[in-house]
Amino acid sequence: MLAAYQAWTAEDPGDRALELFWFYEVLSMPITDEMLDMFNLADPSVWRTMLRSVWRSRLNEAPEKPISALSQSLTALLNRILLKRDDPRLLLEAVVCAGQLDASVSPEALNTVLKASQQTGDPNLNFAIWQSLRSLDATFPDKSILASREDWTDSLKELASAITAIATPQAAEIGVRLIESPELSQQSMDQLIAAVAVAGDANQLGRVFRAMVKRNPATVTLARVKPLLDRTQRDRTAPKNVGPALINFFNQKAPDPQGTRLQVVAKIANLWKVNELESALLKALTTTTGPAQQKIIDTLAAYDSPEVRKTLTTLSKSTEPEKRIAATRAIAASRPRAAIPLIMKLLQDKETGKAASAIVVSMLNRKDLPPVLAAAIDDAELPTDIARSLLRDVRVSGGQARLEKAIRKAGQLEQAKWKLTPELQTALIAEMKNRGSATRGEDIYRRKSLQCINCHAIGNAGGLVGPNLISLGGSSQPDYIVEALLAPSAKLKEGFTTLTVLTDEGEIINGISLGKNGDGLRLRLADGKETQIALDAIEQTKPGKSLMPEGLLDSLPQQELVDLLTFMSALGREPAYTISTEPIVRSLETLNYTNAASSRLNRTSMDTAASDDASMTWRPQTARVDGTLPLAELDQFKQHRTLPHTSFIRFGITMPREGVAKIDIPSDGLSAWVDGKPTPTTKLDTLPLAGGDHVVVLSINRQLLTQPFPIKVGGDAVIKE
């Protein structure tokens, strides 16, 4: 049968070679060199499937062993295929096949995979490269396969990727030796540092830091040390033998006006616990002032010697607020119970209250501390505004019922509600002019706890329960805005008057009347949903109050209330807070982080986020008034420890007819899917689409994209409302 099949294939190898490979695969027969020669005769369109059959045959024959007999000839074939990169699917199969080779027989297979790594932007290809490099390294005897190549001078980027993928100290050693070489450029050094930080052991990480300081201490910044710090935070691997190098770095005589050097030292001291640094910090404390001195005080929190305790206690009694705050913060980091009396003193002073609140929040992740804090606050009296700020901060951090009760009591917040009076209105308007910040106010407006966005739209983004605020500041005086927030039921805007309906079953329903529809009365409820009540089920109706909850703003300190009012007064009046007429996506959705979604993405690929997978759940998201997407509000996913955090968003566009859509987004840090299909972002500015509705999903690399950005839609496309 085999002879007959071979003869049949020989009659027309261009079209029949694939069937012969399938025949071998089904019968679990080993692929031969003669079989590989058929790639020269077969139609290139079937090469991808033929390669898949090669590595499937290996799995059928001996899944635990690499391909040894064909390693050299198959490597040559794959290298030839990799010269043709116009078919990404063929490239993917070539990389997978290369990963099945025996590196001990053909170490050239390493170069085969590295050639493919020059093709970037495809997450599936990147994963295949990562997997194949690990497989090849496992078949290389005694040391890493990376050692089989003597010269990496022209391939340092590929080397860094390979070290990250293989992730063993043997692989890291290749990078460490290059980092220690004075000939290496700064850019290449940074790439290798990031890779070694993933793969190296504690000794290798220490050698890397010493090499950085030895080369040029002035270039050692927090960003450059960050990969080493991230490694320590991830698995507690701290670089060894860095004490002398760190002291040498800290004691530089070069000016440090931006505090860059202190930032590095502070972070290292907290994570690596370098004991040799303590005496240098105490000495520097006596020769510095201002922010630099405060940073040194913060850094001393990493040490708990008698000398450090004595120094911090003295500083906590200083007449200078900044020193008291820094010393209390440092004591709280190492001896939190001892810091509580000091925190209570800071909470009494308006100048130090905000900083004290931050220290309290930093202590809430310890189970034993909230009850102690609650007891201390319960026995004290706090200024009302400081109590409001502290209560808000505690709630935002997750909440502590007993502590919140103590704060309300200490600040007498049950009696300290915002009540509109002529005097308060005048004072607030004056502060809006003198101290109000629309920038801070927009952040307050967007807080989930206030739910402003759920009820009000600004332009076409937001809820429909309350009036659209698009031109509030341009059409209303400040006194009207103050009254609308503090006494929302005093004057209800036309079209937003409410009804209270009593049904024949005794149910009371409050909502905005949308009119009668046939035999029913339609109401929009406070959650934005609409309901219809049968007319014959209505016992009684009467005018209702505003759907804005009573006391919604009582938790805001006066400055935050002023900032919120300033923002609302700026809407439609100041250019920076006027909705642009540009076609910007303002209403979209973002992917919720759940354990199910994270697990699903880790087991599959990012493509799943663009599918109809039931594990993917989305929530509404709005842009800021300037049209930019607030990245800080998006959940983050991490598929692999070496990959950056990623967020996902999606939005709809409509094509009135077949044509070309133009989607304007940043050029770096984004991947795209259109209607579930991966789409290069370079093609989004001239994207042919059929008429109808389409869904665009974007993944955001949070390491590359750190600033808010707008999404603009043009061409023949319009934004789907």
User: Which are the contacts of 138, defined by CB distance < 8 A and separation ≥ 6?
Assistant: none
Identify whether residues 323 and 466 lie together within a single domain: no
| Cα–Cα distance for residue pair 721/349, rounded to 1 Å | 49
Side chain identity, residue 389: S
Identify whether residues 481 and 533 lie together within a single domain: no
The pLDDT tens digits of the residues spanning 362-392 come to 998 888 899 999 999 999 999 988 998 898 8
Identify whether residues 203 and 224 lie together within a single domain: yes
Write down the pLDDT at residue 195: 93
HSE (side-chain half, CA atoms, 13 Å) at 318: 18
Select the more confidently predicted residue: 81 or 533: 533
The pLDDT tens digits of the residues spanning 322-354 come to 999 999 999 999 899 999 999 999 999 989 999
Last residue of a domain, one of 384, 410, 436: 410
| Kind and range of the H or E run holding 541 | strand 538-543
Which of the four pLDDT bands, split at 50, 70 and 90, describes residue 178?
A: very high
Write down the pLDDT at residue 681: 92
Question: Is residue 243 situated within a structural domain?
Answer: no
CA nearest 699: which of 622, 632, 607? Answer: 607
Structural tokens at position 682: 């370079």
The pLDDT tens digits of the residues spanning 124-160 come to 777 888 888 888 888 887 788 888 888 888 888 889 9
Identify whether residues 113 and 178 lie together within a single domain: yes
Distance of CA 307 to the CA centre of its chain: 40
Identify whether residues 386 and 471 lie together within a single domain: no
Write down the pLDDT at residue 82: 64
Tell me the CATH number at 604. Answer: 2.60.120
Side chain identity, residue 243: G
Last residue of a domain, one of 221, 237, 253: 237
Across 397-403, average pLDDT = 84
In our burial notation (b when 16+ CB lie closer than 10 A, e otherwise), range 413-434 reads beeeebeeeeeebeebbebbee
Predicted confidence (pLDDT) at residue 64 exceeds the cutoff of 70: no
Question: Is residue 275 situated within a structural domain?
Answer: no
Burial of residue 65, with CB atoms counted within 10 A of its CB: 0-12 exposed, 13-18 middle, 19 or more buried: exposed
Question: Is residue 520 situated within a structural domain?
Answer: yes
Do 196 and 172 contact (CB within 8 A), yes or no? yes
Question: Is residue 340 situated within a structural domain?
Answer: yes
Do 146 and 155 contact (CB within 8 A), yes or no? no
Across 618-622, average pLDDT = 94
The pLDDT tens digits of the residues spanning 562-572 come to 999 999 999 99
Which of the four pLDDT bands, split at 50, 70 and 90, describes residue 86?
A: low
Backbone angles phi, psi at 433, to 5 degrees: -75, -35
| Cα–Cα distance for residue pair 312/330, rounded to 1 Å | 8
Write down the pLDDT at residue 691: 95
Last residue of a domain, one of 376, 410, 444: 410
Which of the four pLDDT bands, split at 50, 70 and 90, describes residue 645?
A: very high
Predicted confidence (pLDDT) at residue 55 exceeds the cutoff of 60: yes
Which of the four pLDDT bands, split at 50, 70 and 90, describes residue 120?
A: low
Share of the chain above pLDDT 90, in %: 45
Question: Is residue 246 situated within a structural domain?
Answer: no
User: Cβ of 278: how many Cβ atoms within 10 Å?
Assistant: 19
Identify whether residues 619 and 679 lie together within a single domain: yes
Identify whether residues 118 and 205 lie together within a single domain: yes
Across 237-258, average pLDDT = 86
| Cα–Cα distance for residue pair 565/556, rounded to 1 Å | 12
Identify whether residues 201 and 292 lie together within a single domain: no
Write down the pLDDT at residue 523: 85
Of 66-80, 268-282, 471-485, where does mean pLDDT reach its minimum?
66-80
Give me the number of domains the chain comprises. 5
Tell me the CATH number at 516. Answer: 2.30.30.100
Predicted confidence (pLDDT) at residue 541 exceeds the cutoff of 90: no
Question: Is residue 416 situated within a structural domain?
Answer: no
Identify whether residues 474 and 562 lie together within a single domain: yes
Share of the chain above pLDDT 70, in %: 91
Select the more confidently predicted residue: 628 or 182: 628
| Cα–Cα distance for residue pair 490/459, rounded to 1 Å | 25
Predicted confidence (pLDDT) at residue 65 exceeds the cutoff of 60: no
| Cα–Cα distance for residue pair 454/461, rounded to 1 Å | 10
Across 673-678, average pLDDT = 95
Identify whether residues 374 and 472 lie together within a single domain: no
Identify whether residues 100 and 145 lie together within a single domain: yes
Q: Apex CA 67: angle with CA 62 and CA 69, to 5°?
A: 110
Domain coverage including residue 524: 498-543
Identify whether residues 184 and 229 lie together within a single domain: yes
In our burial notation (b when 16+ CB lie closer than 10 A, e otherwise), range 192-203 reads bbbbbbbbbbbe
Tell me the CATH number at 568. Answer: 1.10.760
Across 400-429, average pLDDT = 89
Tell me the pTM.
Answer: 0.60
Question: Is residue 274 situated within a structural domain?
Answer: no
Place of tokens 């009135």: 656
CA nearest 265: which of 254, 281, 253? Answer: 281
Predicted confidence (pLDDT) at residue 256 exceeds the cutoff of 80: no
Write down the pLDDT at residue 465: 80
| Cα–Cα distance for residue pair 489/487, rounded to 1 Å | 6
Which of the four pLDDT bands, split at 50, 70 and 90, describes residue 70?
A: low
Which of the four pLDDT bands, split at 50, 70 and 90, describes residue 289?
A: confident
Of 102-111, 198-207, 245-254, 557-566, where does mean pLDDT reach its minimum?
102-111
Structural tokens at position 418: 């915002």
Question: Is residue 396 situated within a structural domain?
Answer: yes
